[in-house]
A and B are shown apart, each in its own frame.
Chain A
């Protein structure tokens, strides 16, 4: 499907005497719609799709006033090849679609770069770089778009729309004002990231310094505009509305459910709100070099996104500093609802009032998740159903926090346990259940830790079997004689022994079929040997040993699946709750065993 495109891309590079165009930007403007057309065949194209952003940036480049024409090899044959792809593009599956999207992004990126490096006009090149960066970002460091990312896409779109009227005072003023809002937002986020250690100090300082400089340059721009003469230039209202709408989006209250690092990430990916384009539009001499530096810093981030580490949610406490957060919870209940992590440190001691508040949030959340908006349950009466989804999130957050407050207990309970990892996993399930069941109306709220401890103690005593599954509760059937009929004996019947022998034989066969590298770790694990000892025996990292044990279990389970069709016992709870998964992850991070794998170890991964 892409062969013709590939051939034309190669020809662009190697053709010694290619047909030329007198206006590369014009041809590029005709080529981009073909790329977008292919994208449309693959699915809906949202405004923040990298192809849509490329289209916006290309429009901006094409609208650059008095841009000098660029003579370059013609894109005509590439355009024809892309049109051919758009005609035959068809996807058979999601995997196929993902592959095609990846190919399209690569082709678009390569072409955008090719056009940019040949474009002679600096301002047009800055536009093309914005489109190229959007694709670069999608290809090399894909990230989910957040609300601020959508706002920034609208901003880029507005900047493209004002290109033809950029000399109007009212436009330059609005662009400078809007960008000031972006800079302020960025300044706050970078300062926060610097303080929390999420961004390296030298990088943060460079960003903060340049953001401040650019803000002062915008101030100069604004001071030079005579407000009384703003209305003298007639500018298309649609253009001003687009610009006003984008500024409104960017100056609105931030979505507090978006983690700080996600917002900062979006700003950096946008080269802090297309600083170079803004500097070109405002035409302020002092703004251009500063904007260029900000752009370089943003590209540095794009090349190495790891320099921004996730920031702890506001209000979270470092492990080992248990402090109640009653006042914070009451003052700002939504602030805790940052998705993904508990809002308190592990083991934080919660006051009774806090536990009451968390249980209340939990109950409201559960009701919101299952309630009928036309006939709301009592607990939700008077609350607008549009707020229910947020209440569900807050409810889950409350359960996460309840679990986080007692997480160290899991470690205490499993420190010397055989199959510790399995027991812990089961304890998390139990703990989640306890957090949902705990009723502060019946049990004093301060007794939540005791309740959790008792739950875990019960789990530990029951233990898990060699497959890592919690042993079932013993049946306590009551025997009732029916007249003269003898009650059924509780002793296993003769058939049970045969079935057991058959089962054991099936397990042996399944184990025997495992490859040696999986079989031995599993057998050793079944004999109670800890994972780190198995890892040492094999000369692999502990995580590799665990992975092999798990893989072996999965294979045996799959092999035995046909034998367990008639097993009456209901499987224990499956761990699918995202809150639980987060809690488990948090636990592992907080209490990583001292004999953990050395960095870089794991020769045969």
Chain B
């Protein structure tokens, strides 16, 4: 891969966001929680493979809901260059998972009114 920079800080942010989402869904046993964990597993490995040299933070992380975390993680991932697919083979799976989780969360919240 030449010419495409790995967005290490952004990966770090997504790692934090999905870690938070996993924590918030820790005692949920439904499919959505499973998909969040799948996405978390992908990003955890990405973050280990491409650690950021600077400390990464997400403002207001502690007060975010699962939906907020997933929304922001998806925005972050969608900002990445698609040419990264060669360097990050799980990228496509991550995007699909986050989209599905977001849809399911929205459906659930709509049902709850």
Contacts and interface: CB of A to CB of B under 8 A. Distances in A.
B44 interface: yes
B14 to A, nearest CB: 12
Contact of A181 (B20, B24, B41, B47): B41
A147 interface: no
Given A187-B29, A219-B23, A244 B37 contact: no
B49 interface: yes
Nearest to B49: A241
B55 interface: yes
Contacts of A181: 22, 37, 40-41
A360 to B, nearest CB: 28
A222 interface: yes
Given A219-B26, A228-B57, A231-B12, A177 B48 contact: no
B34 interface: yes
B74 interface: no
Contact of A222 (B19, B27, B34, B58): B19
Contacts of A223: 23
Interface string A147-191: 000000000000000000000000001100110110010011001
Nearest to B42: A248
Interface in B47-101: 47-49, 51-52, 54-58, 61, 90
A227 B37 contact: no
Interface string A237-248: 100110111011
Interface residues of B, number: 32
B93 to A, nearest CB: 9
Nearest to A221: B23
A216 B28 CA distance: 10
Contacts of B33: 184
Chain B interface mostly: helix
A245 B24 CA distance: 23
Contact of A218 (B26, B45, B48, B57): B26
Given A215-B26, A231-B12, A243 B48 contact: yes
Contacts of A253: 38
A127 B19 CA distance: 27
B55 to A, nearest CB: 4
Nearest to B39: A251
A173 to B, nearest CB: 6
Nearest to B50: A237
B92 to A, nearest CB: 14
A279 to B, nearest CB: 15
13 contacts: A174-B44, A177-B23, A180-B37, A181-B37, A184-B37, A191-B29, A212-B27, A227-B20, A240-B47, A240-B48, A241-B49, A247-B41, A251-B37
Interface of A: 173-174, 177-178, 180-181, 184, 187-188, 191, 212, 215-216, 218-219, 222-223, 227-232, 237, 240-241, 243-245, 247-248, 250-253
Interface of B: 12, 16, 19-20, 22-24, 26-27, 29, 33-34, 37-38, 40-42, 44-49, 51-52, 54-58, 61, 90
A-B pairs with the 10 shortest C-beta distances? A251-B41, A244-B48, A244-B45, A219-B26, A240-B48, A222-B23, A228-B57, A231-B55, A248-B45, A181-B37
